[in-house]
Amino acid sequence: MSTPSPDPASGKLWGGRFTGSVNAALHAFQASLPFDMRMWREDITASIAHARMLGATGILSSAESQQLVDGLEALRAEWTHTGLPVNDQEDIHSLVESTLRERVGAVAGKLHTARSRNDQVATDFRLYLRNGCDALDATLQGLQRALLASAELHIDVVMPGFTHLQHAQPVLAAHHLLAYVWMLGRDRERVADARGRLNRLPLGAAALAGTKFPIDREMVARELGFAAVLENSLDAVADRDFAVEFLAACSLVMMHLSRFCEELILWASQEFFWVDLPEEYCTGSSIMPQKKNPDGAELIRGKTGRVFGDLLGMLTMLKGLPLAYNKDLQEDKESAFDALDTTLACLEITTGMVSGMRFRRERALAALAGDMSAATEIADYLAQQGVPFREAHHVSGEIVRAAEAQGKGLAEMTLADMQPFSPLIREDLLPLLSPHAVVAAKTSRGGTAPERVREQLDRARAMVDGE
Ligand code: ARG
């Protein structure tokens, strides 16, 4: 650990006040290039905007500004082609500046006028996550579309709806799938919300206090597509609320995916056997030849914990930091990148699973045979005739008990079986107890009756397409 590094500190952006060398282990320990290199495009884009502004304000001559812009554009073209060079610069900002110096010479040293890595990294990171928000939105929409298509395909599938994982009342499978379309709609709102608040410019805050140079922050904001300029230089370099919000939005997406995947895993099990998951999203067992395991869904459920961890890590990293910049803030990137990569991958896998998933209509319906999920219908039937609901509920409960004692499902009970419990029970109750009738009766807005679900599909489609 303590071997002195041969690497002279003077090779760094900040080498002037150091005489000796940086410990090699510390250099490796504090370097962020291995993970912040993915922000190289944002670093160059923001540097080009900064260089243009330095020229426009007369802080640099227009020739110098143009040299910097040309050099940075050439670098962008080159790296787009070749990828990034592997080297031991400490971060992406150092790599861009030192490579620019190799290309355009000493003028590269003027790029950092009126700028610090503190406002630079905050700017790059916001630009990167802004793209991340756009990618998330598109991917969320893709999954919504797959769910809509599946809801349409399975519009006639009736299955038990649950509370407490006990049969509650039958619902349409399409209704169940649409529930997720609305959840993902809220996720998209949250992503858009996070995007709105992160789309403000830190650049120009310099290290923490602003700068004496007559910079034009509004110009840089316009060039980079930021909607506003952050008003306080200390806040600009110290704030990572936007990253927390981004991670919170990812966490909620993952929580939704995890709940859905848990359901897919249950539905695909032999106990339920309601859905057939696409083979290409399952794997087999090395010992049990019959296995078709829902690995995709399980892994998404598992990765949810990891994204929650990214959020908690970020909050914990921030909670004790005095203003303004502290090196701790460098820990913001890996968790945000991990959450973005993980959430995008999980959304894509879920979309594939949903597109290929088929309900086994007969099995889903058969799950209702012999159950008591029509009990609320009996209570509603009596309540409609003026019996107070509480009393009607009691009568229906007694009928459930009798059915259980006879080993029958509610729909199999005869008039003679039920009439002893209430003189108001007549022949017309019997057809109301079949699963399809129970579903058809739920005609309230947002309910599971087929015509309501069709309306809901139309509304969901309009919501997904932003109409
Ligand atoms: N790699 C650093 C980060 O990610 C860049 C900012 C460095 N600033 C500094 N004062 N050391 O936060």
All domains in the chain, ordered by first residue = 15-113 (1.10.275.10), 119-363 (1.20.200.10), 375-464 (1.10.40.30)
Q: Could you give the C-alpha distances from 452 to 83, 168, 182, 429, in angstroms and in order? A: 53, 19, 15, 23
Distance 224 CA to ligand 1 centre (A): 21
Identity of the residue numbered 307: V
By the 8 A CB rule, do 150 and 177 touch? Answer: yes
- What's the CA gap between 141 and 351, in Å, rounded? 10
- What's the CA gap between 277 and 354, in Å, rounded? 8
Question: Per-residue b/e over 313-332, b at no fewer than 16 CB within 10 Å?
Answer: bbeebbeeeeebbbeebbbb
CA 14 to ligand 1: nearest atom: 11
Distance 32 CA to ligand 1 centre (A): 8
CA 92 to ligand 1: nearest atom: 1
- What's the CA gap between 4 and 200, in Å, rounded? 42
Where would I find the H helices in 111-240?
117-153, 173-198, 217-224, 233-238
Distance 18 CA to ligand 1 centre (A): 18
By the 8 A CB rule, do 352 and 300 touch? Answer: no
- Answer positive or negative: Cα dihedral of 300, 301, 305, 311: positive
Identify the H or E element spanning 162: strand 158-163
Joined together, the tokens standing for residue 2 give: 């303590």
Give the closest residue to 463 by CA, choosing from 120, 188, 217.
188
Residue 9 is given by DSSP the state: G
The answer, as to whether pTM is greater than 0.75, is yes
Give the closest residue to 202 by CA, choosing from 185, 179, 170, 226.
226
Joined together, the tokens standing for residue 76 give: 């962008």
Residue tagged active-site, from 164, 176, 258, 394 = 164
Pocket test for ligand 1, best of 117, 118, 237 (most atoms within 8 A of CB): 117
Specify the 3-state DSSP secondary structure of 98.
helix
- What's the CA gap between 449 and 427, in Å, rounded? 23
Pocket test for ligand 1, best of 123, 327, 335, 337 (most atoms within 8 A of CB): 327
Residue 285 is a catalytic residue? yes
Distance 401 CA to ligand 1 centre (A): 69
Residue 167 is a catalytic residue? no
By the 8 A CB rule, do 123 and 36 touch? Answer: no
CA 90 to ligand 1: nearest atom: 1
Q: Could you give the C-alpha distances from 223 to 113, 125, 166, in angstroms and in order? A: 18, 16, 57
In tens digits, the chain (467 residues) has pLDDT values of 343 334 445 577 888 888 878 888 999 999 999 999 999 999 999 999 999 999 999 999 999 999 999 999 999 999 999 999 988 899 999 999 999 999 999 999 999 999 999 999 999 999 999 999 999 999 999 999 999 999 999 999 999 999 999 999 999 999 999 999 999 999 999 999 999 999 999 999 999 999 999 999 999 999 999 999 999 999 999 999 999 999 999 999 999 999 999 999 999 999 999 999 999 999 998 888 898 899 999 999 999 999 999 999 999 999 999 999 999 999 999 999 999 999 999 999 999 999 999 999 999 999 999 999 999 999 999 999 999 999 999 999 999 999 999 999 999 999 999 999 999 999 999 999 999 999 999 999 999 999 999 999 999 999 999 97
Identify the H or E element spanning 169: strand 166-172
